[in-house]
Amino acid sequence: MTGYGGLVDNLQEERDRLTAKVTENERLLAEAYAALAGERADKAQLQTQITELTLENARLREQITQLGGTPP
């Protein structure tokens, strides 16, 4: 095809190609955001566990001291 009709077809093909790329990029972005959210949740859970264990160790050391011992 040549002329105006060919130009219109070429433009439509280019729009379709670009639209498909945008759609794929949006899918990849959604996956990346989901992975990031999961990592943040895992990180928050680990931080909670660290806090709980640190507090428990402080209490245990205090009990050891109260019983006349020397905490590690």
2-11's contacts with Cβ under 8 Å and 24+ in sequence apart are: none
Distance CA 33, CA 20 (A): 20
Distance CA 15, CA 23 (A): 12
Q: Are 34 and 42 in contact (CB under 8 A)?
A: no
For residue 5, what pLDDT band results from cuts at 50, 70 and 90? confident
Reported pTM: 0.65
Q: How many residues does the chain have?
A: 72
| pLDDT at residue 4 in the model | 85
pLDDT 10s digits, 13-70: 999 999 999 999 999 999 999 999 999 999 999 999 999 999 999 999 999 999 999 9
